Amino acid sequence: MNLRTEIHPDQLGDIIDFSKWITMMGSCFTENIGDKLKQSKFNVTTNPFGIIFNPIPINGILQRALSKNPFHAEEFRTLNSRWFSYNSHSILSRPTQQETLEVHYQQLNNLQKRIETTDVLILSWGTAWGYRHIETNQIVANCHKVPQKEFVKELIDIAEIVESTKTVIQNFKSDVKVIITVSPVRHWKDGPVQNSRSKARLIEAAHQLQDEGLVHYFPAYELLMDDLRDYRFYADDMLHPSGKALEYVWDKFQKTTMSEKTIGLIESIQKINRKLFHKFKNEDDRKDMIAKVKEEIVEMKKMIPEIKFDLSK
């Protein structure tokens, strides 16, 4: 008797390995899977402008980087003694306009350099609901607690999502692999029905792009909604996936995008990580462990020359 509907995602081939440069942008999924990739020593850049849920501002940042269009001081606004940009998350906000301009300049410069070497682009979409700033007619990445009267809330058309994303992808180098996923986190403030409308548009847009051969679709949304259909797989807010659910999605992601050899190397790296973070009772034990780990790292570098571990802990 089978008591659950397990999902087996389509194999995407050996898209991700340790030689690839990975850029991830979008919702919390990019943070969660991005952290797993970073812990496993992949070359990955995650959300240089913070978490962004809507595809349109995600594409806007990427297109700005691709076209080398710099930020200008007049683009920034101030509220409650903080300067911010409607193109980014509040983590890039600063006390002065100049500081805010500088951090945006640096992040954009870093993203421009990364795009030139990117082999894999992973986009995670959270919602098709957008907030259009009335003054600038722009779908913003973040409202920054600006009064709601300055925005119009709208549901982005599937065609707009598709065309905007297509434009960005076609400006990347021709051999870049693009993976799109829809976040399983429900935007409950929109209400259950409106959240479903939003997710449906994102899923359809992703599949239209996949049908054109431009992207691969990874079913993170379906893994939570249809495979792990139980609140024991959710955090206390009943909206975000639990740690166990994230491990499950990570396992599926590996098996979908990586070779058995790459997955085996990840397991070896995690064993080294666990040893490095182990708490020892005395310094001699720690030094003995470090000596043994150094030998393991030497062997690891034969397979992944660029890999680095922090031995100072």
The 10s digit of each residue's pLDDT in 19-39 is 999 999 999 989 999 999 999
Euclidean distance between CA atoms 289 and 62, whole angstroms:
44
Determine the pLDDT at residue 226.
Answer: 95
Does residue 10 register a pLDDT over 60?
Answer: yes
Determine the pLDDT at residue 19.
Answer: 94
Does residue 144 register a pLDDT over 80?
Answer: yes
292: confidence class by pLDDT, cuts 50, 70, 90: confident
> 281 versus 58: which is more confidently predicted?
58
Kindly report the CA angle at 277 between 273 and 283, in degrees rounded to 5?
A: 125
Cβ(215)–Cβ(169) under 8 Å? yes
| Helices and strands in the chain: count of H runs, count of E runs | 9, 10
41's torsion region: left (phi>0), alpha (psi -120 to 50) or beta? left
> 93 versus 274: which is more confidently predicted?
93
Determine the pLDDT at residue 294.
Answer: 87
Does residue 200 register a pLDDT over 90?
Answer: yes
Cβ(275)–Cβ(287) under 8 Å? no
Least confident of 71-75, 94-98, 184-188, 278-282: 278-282
> 62 versus 28: which is more confidently predicted?
62
Does residue 313 register a pLDDT over 60?
Answer: no
Query: Two tokens at 208?
Result: 């239209």
Does residue 3 register a pLDDT over 90?
Answer: no
3-state per-residue secondary structure call for 30-69: HHHHHHHHHHCCCEEEECCCCCCCCHHHHHHHHHHHHCCC
| pLDDT > 90 in the chain, percent | 85
Determine the pLDDT at residue 160.
Answer: 98
Q: CATH number for the 21-258 domain, one of 3.40.190.10, 3.40.50.1110, 3.30.750.210, 2.60.40.60?
A: 3.40.50.1110
Q: Helix H segments across the chain?
A: 28-39, 55-66, 97-117, 158-170, 192-211, 220-222, 243-257, 260-276, 283-303
| pLDDT > 70 in the chain, percent | 99
Does residue 45 register a pLDDT over 90?
Answer: yes
Domain-wise residue ranges, the chain: 21-258, 259-313
